Amino acid sequence: MTKPLALIIEDSPVFSLMFSRTLSDEFEVEAIKDGEEAMKRLNDVSIPSLILLDLHLPGASGRNILNHIKSDERFAKTRIILTTSDERQAEELQNIVDLVLLKPINPNQLRDLASRMKT
């Protein structure tokens, strides 16, 4: 059986690597470091089970990406974890995502929460 896809949209190489390693046991992981690239990829990618989304990205903001995801019916069952250090924006968006994790993020916590969200 193939693993569900987790799409990590994160520009920090440190966080991207940590998120990828943390999720790779239970998910097929694809990491994207640029908001514009993420927007293009979302139009082509197999529908991910999980998206980890940073808010502050080069190319296109995480908020724009989130709006794109929420407006596309194909992603209706995709779980979204917002990963950010911006508490104000996290609070504003917490009701439209499945989970908000404020950075720094504990890898064990991320692994456990993501595992419970698998569809």
- Residue 1's pLDDT is what? 67
Phi, psi of 83 (to 5 degrees): -120, 115
Q: Which residue has tokens 């979204």?
A: 80
pLDDT at 117 over 80: yes
Three-point CA angle 20, 25, 31, nearest 5°: 20
Lookup: tokens for 39: 């927007």
- Residue 119's pLDDT is what? 58
Taking only the tens place, the pLDDT of each residue in 86-115 is 999 999 999 999 999 999 999 999 999 999
Q: What is the pTM of this model?
A: 0.94
Helix axis angle for 107-117 and 13-23, nearest 10°, is 50
Amino acid at site 116: R
- Residue 80's pLDDT is what? 97
Q: Reduce the DSSP state of residue 80 to 3 states and report it.
A: strand
- Could you confirm whether domain 5-117 is CATH 1.10.260.40? no
- Residue 40's pLDDT is what? 93
Taking only the tens place, the pLDDT of each residue in 15-69 is 999 999 999 999 999 999 999 999 999 998 789 999 999 999 999 999 999 999 9
Domains of the chain: which residue ranges?
Answer: 5-117
Q: How far apart are CA 23 and CA 31, in angstroms?
A: 11
